[in-house]
Amino acid sequence: MSEPVKNPDDKIPDDFQAPKNSGDSDNPNDESDISTSSWERFRRNGYTRYYTKRTIWFLVTLVAAAILNFILPRLMPGDPLAAIMQRVAVGLHDAEQVRAIYYHYLQLFGLDRPVIEQFFIYFGNLFRGDLGLSFSRFPRPVSDIISNAVPWTIGLQLPAILTGWIIGNFLGAIAAYRRRIFDKIVMPASLFVSGIPAFGLAVILLAVFALNLGWFPVTGGYEIGLIPHFSWRFISSIIEHYHLPFWSIVLISIGGQALGMRSMSIYELNADYVRYSRFMGIKDSKIVRYVFRNAMLPQVTGLALSLGTMMGGAIVAEIIFSYPGLGTALLQAVREGDYPLVSGITLVITVMVLASVFLLEIIYGLIDPRVKTTQYE
Amino acid sequence: MSKVILEVNNLMTKYITRYKENVYAVNDVSFKLEEGRSVGIAGESGCGKSTLALSLMGYYFPPLHYTSGEIIIDGRKITDMKPDDVRKQVLGTEIAYIPQAAMNALNPTRKVIKFIEDVIRVHDPKATKKDIYDLAQQRFELLNLPKEALHKYSVELSGGMKQRTVIAVSTILSPKVLIADEPSSALDVTSQKMVIKMINDLMDLGIIKSMIFITHELPLLYNVTDDIMVMYAAQLVETGTADQMIFDPLHPYSKGLMGSILVPEDGTREAKITAIPGTPPNLKKPPEGCRFAERCKYASPQCKVLNVEVSHLDNNRKCRCLLSEKELREVYKDE
């Protein structure tokens, strides 16, 4: 992970000379010279140093999360091998034989060794990209189960969280600008909806739209019996099954985002630059754009902060709609005490959240010049 | 007498508070500003100086509301125009404004040149990027700003540069009247002097035709503007040339204001500073009669009852006092 960060640093001296020379020949002006070299300094020290620091922090977080991922599933009650034994030991009456099979699996998974040793084996495997074999779906490797579930989860959650964020911000901005009826009806309504716990809202949607009205299917990611392949029938089935889990995630995230955006926009609308722009004759629609741009910035931070919570809520939605994503797999793994699968899924979720936060941080640096300056410092 | 650029007659504007109370922060203000002249408005904080500045723009948004009176810029009565016409035809070109908080006046996420483009395109939607850039660059040079500053965000500029950038942006369309609302209050003395010199240069070059300078520092006005108006409790109490107002103030409030500051000249070391006792009236319920009567040591019982009109004196002076010029001089002589 630290390799790609170092590389640009090494490369700099090569292309460092070029812009400086061309800058000199274009502008013999002193000031342009200063700005060129300060731009170079900015690129060399500020960004690289900042992002190296951030990367290290993310790695530390990742390691801490991986350790917790190892420990927490092992604190669960229940016998992790029960699932396998149920399948394998069917029809066996000889207790001795059953015990032999049991010990065979115990040794295979390394469960007979001390926890510390298991810990090091687990991490050793992790570094080789090996997440182990699933207990409950033995002998499928965990990575195989996860790679089947991840597209569903990303396909559902990324659009849903982004849609919720965008609609929420939009509503918040309008509420700040229009006030009156909009502020008194739409805002409380969206807040009310967001106040419902994630599982509650999903269950309500399921009961109303799937069971009572029958507009949408009740469970799954596609019609039961269809084999996943590229055809119109399959795609339309996916879209049909997509609606309820999607809107349950969107509705949950709207209210909180709208509330934040509304207060940020009200604050920005009273900022000095808004008044000045008005007195310079800038038209209101443009000023609204200025305000939106500035009020949006803390919302990006808000998104980064609430991403973990959102992901949690989204996983609950998956479980309730039996969507074939990570959430449903996680629930199954937890039920059956499948340590490797639980650890693997939570690790992947952690990586996804951390990666998105990291991405948001980079985006934030690009869209807010003030942060750019601080990152440089 | 040269051409009158700005004429304000009995202007009244009010703030409507959250509890639907009317606060008249500009009450019956009248004055004229001639081409090539500058006028300073002085008064203690909360007297309505900044509100007057905002009211003069002719473009009102809550909580400030227009009540009555007229503003005439270069023969055009802007108080009769539709807000959108005022925005397009008056703001920036006829009258422009340098805000009190110049430090925060620039949009933090928009580059200076982009904002200048926005401003110019309000009045000339067809302006080309190159023309805008050339004009901006020329003005920046005039104000001693590096042209690189055009491509920067406000956070990347120093305080003094932000101040000058705001001056450059405000005057980019060569407004006939420039209102500077304490443009120098947040700066150190050297920067203050530089800012004032720049505004004066702009006037000498004819980029701006006249200026209104608002401050609470009277001595500053003496060096900056031709005329001085003193404001008290939403009204103008005295108007005159800088010399008259500094060395021969007539109204008891102007006199008190002059007595409460140190003038850096010989003999001031021994002089005593005298503060005006009391506090300004609450503008939600302004007192009957003269608004200064409560605090005026020359006030008679009549002052608190009779409505005081502005009296026009010799030499274009105006004074809002029940006593005549002669009577006032008599009173002051006794001290």
Contact residues, chain B to chain A, C-beta under 8 Å: 54, 57, 59, 61, 87-88, 90-92, 96-97, 99, 101, 104-110, 115, 118-119, 122-123, 146-148, 153, 155-156, 166, 169-170
What residues are paired with B32 via a beta bridge? B7
Is the confidence at residue B228, as pLDDT, over 60? Answer: yes
Q: Is the pLDDT of residue A3 over 70?
A: no
When the candidates are 1.10.3720.10, 1.10.1240.10, 3.40.50.300, 3.40.605.10, the CATH number that belongs to B4-94+175-333 is: 3.40.50.300
* Sequence ranges of the domains in chain A: 2-74, 142-376
Contacts with A150 (C-beta within 8 Å, 6 or more apart), sequence order: A325, A326, A348
- Who wins on pLDDT, B23 or B260? B23
CA-nearest residue to A276 within chain B is B105
Q: Which residues on neighbouring strands pair with residue B95, listed in sequence order?
A: B91, B177
Determine the average pLDDT of the residues in A6-19. Answer: 41
Distance between first and last Cα of chain B: 38
Distance from CA of B333 to the nearest CA of A (A): 47
Phi and psi, residue A262, nearest 5°? -60, -50
H helix runs in B181-294, sequence order: 189-204, 218-224, 242-247, 252-259
Mean pLDDT of chain A: 76
Cβ–Cβ < 8 Å for B303, B289:
yes
Residue A233 CB-half CA count within 13 A: 7
Q: Cβ of B107 and A278 within 8 Å?
A: no
**Separation of CA A252 from chain center:** 15
Per-residue pLDDT reduced to its tens digit, A51-63: 788 888 888 988 8
Strands B227-232 and B210-215: unpaired
- A213-250 core/surface letters (b: 16 or more CB in 10 A; e: else): eeebbeebbbeeeeeeeeeeeeeebbeebbbbbbbbbb
Beta strands in chain B (DSSP E): 4-16, 22-34, 38-42, 64-73, 76-77, 95-98, 177-181, 210-215, 227-232, 235-241, 311-312, 318-319
Q: Which residues of A touch B110 (CB under 8 A)?
A: 290, 293
List of chain B residues whose C-beta atoms are within 8 Å of the C-beta of residue A37 = none
Nearest to A369 among B59, B108, B122 (CB): B108
- Does residue B271 carry a pLDDT above 60? yes
Region B146-162: mean pLDDT is 85
Nearest to A272 among B105, B115, B148 (CB): B105
Is residue B40 predicted with pLDDT exceeding 80?
A: yes
What is the pLDDT averaged over residues A108-124? Answer: 78
Please tell me which residue, A140 or A224, carries the higher pLDDT value. Answer: A140
Q: What is the pLDDT of residue A196?
A: 82
pLDDT digits (tens, 9 = 90+) for A336-358: 777 788 888 888 888 888 888 88
Residue spans of alpha helices (H) in B46-125: 49-56, 83-85, 112-123
Q: Residue A19 has what pLDDT?
A: 39
Burial pattern A339-352, b for ≥16 Cβ within 10 A else e, equals bbbbbbbbbbbbeb
Stronger pLDDT, A323 or A33, i.e. the higher one: A323
Among partner residues B54, B107, B122, which is closest to A281 by beta-carbon distance?
B122
Pure H helices in B5-46: none
Residue A238 has pLDDT above 60, yes or no: yes
- For residue A369, what pLDDT band results from cuts at 50, 70 and 90? confident
Q: How many CB atoms lie within 10 A of CB B34?
A: 18
Q: Which chain B residues contact residue A368 at CB under 8 A? A: 108-109
| Alpha-carbon span B154 to B111, nearest angstrom | 7
Chain B residue at shortest CA distance from A29: B146
- DSSP line for B67-80: EEEEEEETTEEGGG
A370–chain B Cβ distance below 8 A for any pair: yes
Band of residue A10 on the pLDDT scale cut at 50, 70, 90: very low
pLDDT of residue A46: 62
Q: Is B179 helix (H, G, I), strand (E, B) or coil?
A: strand
Which chain B residue's Cα is nearest to A367?
A: B109
Delimit the CATH 3.40.50.300 region(s) of chain B. Answer: 4-94+175-333
User: CA-CA distance, A199 to A210, in Å (whole number)?
Assistant: 15
Residue B52 or B305, more confident:
B52
**Rounded mean pLDDT, B49-77:** 88
Neighbours of A207 (CB within 10 A): 12
Q: Strand, coil or helix: what is B215?
A: strand
Average pLDDT rounded to a whole number, residues A215-234 = 71
Instruction: Give the one of B87, B88, B99 whose C-beta lies nearest to A272's C-beta.
Output: B99
- Could you give the CA distance from residue B223 to residue B100 in angstroms, rounded to a whole number? 20
For position B186, what pLDDT does the model report? Answer: 65
Q: Are strands B227-232 and B235-241 parallel, antiparallel or unpaired?
A: antiparallel
Name residue A274's beta-bridge partners: none
Distance from CA of A187 to the nearest CA of B (A): 21
A193 has a pLDDT exceeding 60: yes
Whole-model pTM over 0.80: no
Sign of the dihedral through C-alpha A246, A251, A256, A262: positive
What is the ipTM for the molecules in this complex? 0.87
B111 phi/psi in degrees, rounded to 5: -70, 150
- Give, in degrees to the nearest 5, the angle at Cα B268 between B263 and B273: 80
Residue A226: pLDDT over 60: yes
Residue type, B95: I
Yes or no, beta carbons of B91 and A293 under 8 Å apart: no
Q: What does the pLDDT read at residue A14?
A: 41
Task: Check CB contact under 8 Å for B107 and A279.
Answer: no
**A and B: number of Cβ contacts within 8 A:** 77
Whether pLDDT at A16 is above 50: no
* Residue among B91, B109, B155 minimizing CB distance to A279: B91
User: A279 and B148: CB-CB below 8 Å?
Assistant: no
Contact B228, B218 (CB under 8 A): yes
- Residue reference for tokens 């000889």: A94
| Edge-to-edge strands, sheet with B64-73 | B22-34, B4-16, B64-73, B76-77
* Chain centroid offset of residue A97 CA: 46
Question: What residue has token string 């069917």?
Answer: A90
Average pLDDT, chain B: 84
B109: nearest CB among A272, A279, A369: A369
Residues A267-289, mean pLDDT to the nearest whole number: 87
Nearest-angstrom CA–CA distance, A219 and A224? 9
Does A277 sit within 8 Å of B91, measured CB to CB? Answer: no
CB-nearest partner of B109 from A272, A283, A368: A368
Interface contact A283, partner B, CB < 8 A: yes
What residues of A are in contact with residue B169 (Cβ under 8 Å)? 280
Using a CB-CB cut-off of 8 Å, the residues of chain A touching B170 are: 280
Amino acid at A375: Q
pLDDT at residue B84 in the model: 86
Distance (Å) of CA A96 to CA A89, A92, B252: 12, 10, 113
The CA distance from A107 to A184, in Å, is: 64
What is A184-236 written as a DSSP string? HHHHHHHHHHHHS-HHHHHHHHIIIIIIIS--S-SSSSS-TT----SSHHHHH
For residue B71, give every residue at least 6 positions away whose Cβ sits within 8 Å of its Cβ, in sequence order, or none: B6, B7, B8, B11, B56, B58, B77, B78, B79
Where is average pLDDT lowest: A23-32, A84-93, A270-279, B26-35?
A: A23-32
Cβ atoms B122, B88 nearer than 8 A: yes
Question: pLDDT of B187-226, one tens digit each?
Answer: 677 777 788 888 888 888 888 889 998 887 777 788 788 8
At the fourth CATH level, the homologous superfamily of domain A142-376 is MetI-like (1.10.3720.10)
Q: How confident is residue B107, by pLDDT bands cut at 50, 70 and 90?
A: confident
Confidence of residue B262 (pLDDT cuts 50, 70, 90): low
Considering only alpha carbons, which residue of chain B is nearest residue A291? B107
CA atoms within 13 A on the CB side of A30: 1
Asked if pLDDT for residue B267 goes beyond 80, the answer is no
Q: Give yes or no for residue B266 having a pLDDT over 70.
A: no
**pLDDT reported for residue B178:** 92
pLDDT digits (tens, 9 = 90+) for A21-32: 333 334 444 444
Give CA B62 to chain center in angstroms. Answer: 20
The size of chain A, in residues, is: 377
